[in-house]
Amino acid sequence: MNTVGFIGLGIMGGPMADNLLRAGFAVVGYDLAEDSLKRLEAAGGRVGATVAETIAGADVVITMLPDSPHVEEVALGPGGILENAGEGLLYIDMSTIRPDTSLRVAEAAAAKGVRVLDAPVSGGEKGAVDGTLSIMAGGEADAFEAARQVFDVLGTTVVHVGPAGSGQTVKAANQLVVGGTYALIAEAIVLLEKSGVDAHRGLDVLAGGLAGSRILELKRTTMINRQFKPGFRIDLHHKDMGIALAAAREAGVALPVTGVIAQLIAAARAQGHGSLDHSALLKVIERIND
């Protein structure tokens, strides 16, 4: 696989495409944002004027898009991937979307002779830049093996988690854990500060003990300093929590803590913080305590 068509060159997709270029892949990219296309060209990639042009001659096509409707339009819509795909193409959707959408795409792709994986990622912008993403892939085992040379460039934890749609279900579980962790760190900061304890020292101790986590390692200083430059926006996490709750209903399970976290993220969005990093849940907890 030498040529990758990459659709969606935003905060995550842009650096992922850069890493593929550095690894020696030819990358043809498509995005609605002109700045993203200029960045790709500057890195040595080519720009496709349409989806069809972007995937022409590609061995593998990757989409990294905001939500289910965008994937449906690009993959299934007129002028989209499946309409223009040659038999044997490997299509990897690395967006975070509803599992049932991934299943529909997989069924439509199979009818066209296109191999497909739903392979959402975790690790945020830093993971995308560093090539250290966690990748959870759903689909056929042979498609997963074919995608390994691409995945190994983009991530360090790469797992085939099951059939089509499974990757999205695992990502839903990831997002509810991430959201809950941010909320609890936010509460810890408020408790420490309101009690007159140095929050930096307090969280340093927590990070070295059983309460330690990747989020606490990477985000405790920026949270305490109220620096919420987006690596992953509240708006997107709000969308993801909706996916998690929908998956829970589909599975017939009750996730009460997830419901509370979803409401806190919805509150952050309602308070105008949707464009901030999801660590801005701290602003919601602070407002409750003002």
41 lies in the same domain as 88? yes
- Which one of the listed residues 171, 219, 239, 283 is annotated catalytic? 171
CATH of the domain at 23: 3.40.50.720
pLDDT over 80 (residue 151)? yes
% of residues, the chain, pLDDT over 90: 95
Q: What pLDDT shows up at residue 152?
A: 97
135 lies in the same domain as 177? no
The model's confidence at residue 206, banded by pLDDT at 50, 70 and 90, is: very high
CATH of the domain at 195: 1.10.1040.10
Give the phi and the psi of residue 146 in degrees, each rounded to 5: -65, -30
Number of domains in the chain: 2
256 lies in the same domain as 149? no
77 lies in the same domain as 201? no
Quick: pLDDT tens for 73-122.
999 999 999 999 988 899 999 999 999 999 999 999 999 999 999 999 99
pLDDT over 90 (residue 227)? yes
Q: What pLDDT shows up at residue 87?
A: 82
146 lies in the same domain as 20? yes
Beta-strand (E) ranges in the chain?
A: 3-7, 26-30, 46-47, 60-63, 90-93, 115-118, 121-122, 133-139, 155-162
Q: How far is CA 278 from CA 38, 91, 213, 258, in A?
A: 28, 29, 16, 15
CB count in 10 Å sphere of residue 118: 32
Task: Work out the average pLDDT over 222-226.
Answer: 98
Domain boundary pick from 101, 135, 164: 164
Quick: pLDDT tens for 152-171.
999 999 999 999 999 999 99
69 lies in the same domain as 146? yes
14 lies in the same domain as 158? yes
Domain boundary pick from 114, 140, 164: 164
Quick: pLDDT tens for 7-28.
999 999 999 999 999 999 999 9
Q: Which residues contact 288 (CB under 8 A, 6 or more apart)?
A: none
150 lies in the same domain as 60? yes
Task: Work out the average pLDDT over 113-136.
Answer: 95
262 lies in the same domain as 205? yes
pTM: 0.91
Domain boundary pick from 134, 164, 194: 164
159 lies in the same domain as 190? no
151 lies in the same domain as 173? no
Q: What pLDDT shows up at residue 1?
A: 63
Per the annotation, the verdict on 239 as an active-site residue is no
194 lies in the same domain as 279? yes
What mean pLDDT is reported for the chain? 96
- Note whether 117 and 167 are within 8 A (CB): yes
Q: What pLDDT shows up at residue 90?
A: 97
- How far apart (Å, rounded) are the C-alpha atoms in residues 84 and 26? 19
Residue 98 is part of which domain span? 3-164
